[in-house]
Amino acid sequence: MNVKTICLAILTQGETTGYDIRKRSTEGDYAYFMEASFGSIYPALSKLEEEAYVTSRTVAQEGKPSKRVYKITPTGREFFINSLYDELNDDVFRSEFLLFLRFVEDLPRSLVEKRVNERIAKCNDAIENVKKLEEEFTKPSERWVLNFGQHCMRSARQYLIDNKQEIIALAKQEDVPARAAE
């Protein structure tokens, strides 16, 4: 899937702006699927409009610049649904945290413990954020996706809790400097 697909997916739920598409794809209900930057959203929306998959209208705002509001067309909805038949790409998982853990043997235990505890807290926050989406997601398929996401986050959190002493034990004793020599 690409940015055009995420734009169309969001537009299936109603008219919106490029700014709102960006917001929903980074911190909203679509943040778990694919991240889209402003630099990719607006060209994708322009292309979708050229292809007649979306229409747009300009809305004046008091004291602010006008905004462009996009709406999916019936042809765009059909194109979006057909795109779901395409082979899916592999999930992309990148983690600075895992890079950090790969080098724990070079780090003090106190720092490793701090980072693991921070990650557990972030998992707790992510689980709570997904719970908040339960009120908005009412379709059975949406509920299933939420449950799957919560399960993944809970599993990651539980793994960290169950195994944190093992990774902390791999780190150096506390008599090492807080930072490597510069």
More confident residue, 2 or 58: 58
Q: How far apart are CA 163 and CA 116, in angstroms?
A: 10
- Give the mean pLDDT of 46-57: 96
Check residue 160 and give its pLDDT.
97
For residue 178, the tally of other CB atoms under 10 A from its CB is 9
Burial letters 26-37, b for 16+ CB under 10 A, else e: eebbbebbbebe
Partners of 67 in the beta sheet?
A: 59
User: Order of strands across the sheet with 16-17?
Assistant: 16-17, 64-72, 54-61
0.85 cut: is pTM over it?
Answer: no
**Whether the predicted pLDDT of 110 surpasses 90:** yes
Confidence band for 180, pLDDT divided at 50, 70 and 90: low
Please give the structure tokens belonging to residue 41. 């959203």
Contact (Cβ atoms closer than 8 angstroms) between residue 115 and residue 103:
no
Fold of the CATH domain 3-83: Arc Repressor Mutant, subunit A (1.10.10)
Residue 172, SS3 per DSSP: strand
Q: How far apart are CA 57 and CA 76, in angstroms?
A: 16
Domain ranges of the chain: 3-83, 96-169
